[in-house]
Amino acid sequence: MIRSASDIGRVSGQLCDYVTPNETEVADITGVPVNTVDEARKAGDALLKLGAKNALITLGANGPLLHNREQSVHVPTYKVKVVETTGAGDAFNGAFAVAIGEGRPPVEATRFACACAALSVTKAGRRLLQCQCAARLRRSCRREFKIINLSIVF
């Protein structure tokens, strides 16, 4: 299940496996300003209290934080020459959904998402990468999963 940011107040353990806000969105939702990984962990705790099973908070060039009750893992980004950042979050979320759909563990799925997002910013335009991710997701998803994406609605 992928929903918009307006649905975050209704997040519960039954409705959401992953919440994927960026640092601005998570600050708006939780009231916790996020400028560091430690602050992202505090915001992640607030999302867990709202009922999310996993908080995957993207921190731009600082990489994402995968945070749940068992672990809190900061995944570094790949250093690339940035041409255009439009769609980087979409590429990240699409790639994460693909990897989870393939049955990859969440940390590995997050690393894969970082790689796809890094590739997406190296050229202008994002449509091709997103279409490739969507096609791969349709082919590979063998289990039901729910992701709330706070940036877009697929």
For residue 17, give the DSSP letter. S
Q: Which residues are catalytic?
A: 90
Task: Give ∠ CA 41-153-61 in degrees, rounded to 5.
Answer: 40
| Sign of the CA dihedral running 71, 51, 31, 64 | positive
Q: What is the DSSP string of 34-101?
A: -SSHHHHHHHHHHHHHTT-SEEEEB-GGG--EEE-SS-EEE-PPPP---S--TTHHHHHHHHHHHHHH
Q: SS3 for 1? A: coil
Q: Residue 57: beta bridge partners?
A: 65
